[in-house]
Amino acid sequence: MLIFDAHLDLAMNAIEWNRDLTQPLEAVRAREAHRTDRPDRGRGTVTLPEMRRAGIGLCVATQIARVEHNAYSPVAGWASQAQAWAMTQAQLAWYRAMEESGEMVQIRDRAALDAHVALWENALAHGLPTERMPVGYIMSLEGADSMRSPAHLERSWNDGLRAIGPAHYGPGVYANGTDATGGFNAQGRELVREMDRLGFILDATHLSDDCLDQALDLFGGPIWASHHNCRALVPHNRQLSDAHIRAFAARGAVFGSVFDAWMLVPGWVRGKSNPENTEVTLDTAINHIDHICQITGSSRHVGIGSDLDGAFGTEQTPRDLKSIADLTRLLERLRARGYSAEDVAGIAHGNFLRLLRAAWA
């Protein structure tokens, strides 16, 4: 079955982590096994061959470069918007290189989306080889700090950017994010209005609760939360409250289930907890999926937004997920939990595709 992953930091891994994502996963791990600069070295889970092996023929792939305003957050950032913008352009150049070599193809509109989905669904339905098929990507910006002006926003639209999450960690140039409080500032409100005018999708992920409250009034276009789990199961402001899930679902939003272990089980302690001593598995992730289904009344508002290799590796994934290809096991577990074939197809790809087709109609 075709799998749509709504959040992968592919260019960040290629440019900042220096991973050649065209290579087999084992080769990427072996190349960096001796390195200790990051906790996830030698523990990555994502390469393009692994995505193809699982039928992940389409994803949302990010640009990401936040501005560090102070020593507030342990998440690295750039000293200026100009530097952050330059990093996103380096990431864009990598996507273009992948397109030129036939590894990936950018999806910008409904015609391209429908053609690409048909290509992959035909191959998967007939058991055709997918090893050389391009992985489709919809480009998204995680955190809008790098967006230097409204003119840059329109330039990015012309480059194929189709979704934006206005904030990341802490206070941002336009909005407040994870672990911060407060709403959109004046620049942020202008940014969101311009996003609405141009036709962007608003990604609610990482927005502070105050910004989440304001977003529904400020933005009239399509909304998703690309990689978000449930606060009712793991209490933390990075998670979505039931009230916000209901409010955004009423606007047609789809929520991508994220597989970073600290967002799957309560009480995770960085550096001490691991997938084994917390017993976090793919079934733990299904608990979050099921919670969204229960409070929205259907399976139509949830999908996959794995965030795999989003600055973590197998030291912080479900213990039965060693590669992104293991997302196929998630579909098996959903069936075992009593989800119908229609439900599973919706979670695997259909719900996000429905949102995109409506947005691009």
Q: What is the pLDDT of residues 107-118, one digit of tens each?
A: 999 999 999 999
Q: Report the pLDDT averaged over residues 90-97.
A: 98
Q: What is the pLDDT of residue 328?
A: 98
Share of residues in the chain with pLDDT > 90 (%): 96
| Whether 95 contacts 21, CB under 8 Å | no
pLDDT higher at 67 or 271: 67
**Is pLDDT above 60 for 345?**
yes
**Is pLDDT above 80 for 252?**
yes
Secondary structure letter of residue 349 according to DSSP = I
Which token pair is 67? 């501005």
Q: What is the pLDDT of residues 48-78, one digit of tens each?
A: 999 999 999 999 999 999 998 765 556 789 9
What is the residue extent of each domain of the chain? 4-359
**Is pLDDT above 70 for 273?**
yes
Q: What is the pLDDT of residue 73?
A: 58
**Is pLDDT above 80 for 206?**
yes
Q: What is the pLDDT of residue 76?
A: 80
First to last CA, the chain: 25
For domain 4-359, give its CATH number from 3.40.1190.20, 3.40.50.300, 3.20.20.140, 3.40.50.1970. Answer: 3.20.20.140
Spatial distance between the Cα atoms of 118 and 341, rounded to a whole number of angstroms: 19
Q: How far is CA 1 from CA 82, 287, 322, 323, in A?
A: 42, 22, 20, 17
Q: Report the pLDDT averaged over residues 199-228.
A: 97
Residues 137, 139, 142: CA angle, nearest 5 degrees: 130
Q: What is the pLDDT of residue 74?
A: 63
pLDDT confidence band for 181 (50 / 70 / 90): very high
Q: What is the pLDDT of residue 150?
A: 83
pLDDT higher at 70 or 315: 315
**Is pLDDT above 60 for 287?**
yes
The model carries a pTM of 0.97
Q: What is the pLDDT of residue 72?
A: 53
3-state secondary structure of 342: helix
Please give the sequence-ordered ranges of beta strands (E in DSSP) within the chain, or none if there are none.
4-8, 58-63, 104-106, 135-142, 161-165, 201-203, 223-225, 254-257, 302-304
User: What is the overall mean pLDDT for the chain?
Assistant: 96
pLDDT confidence band for 270 (50 / 70 / 90): confident
Using alpha carbons, select from 205, 204, 238, 241 the residue that is nearest to residue 221. Answer: 204
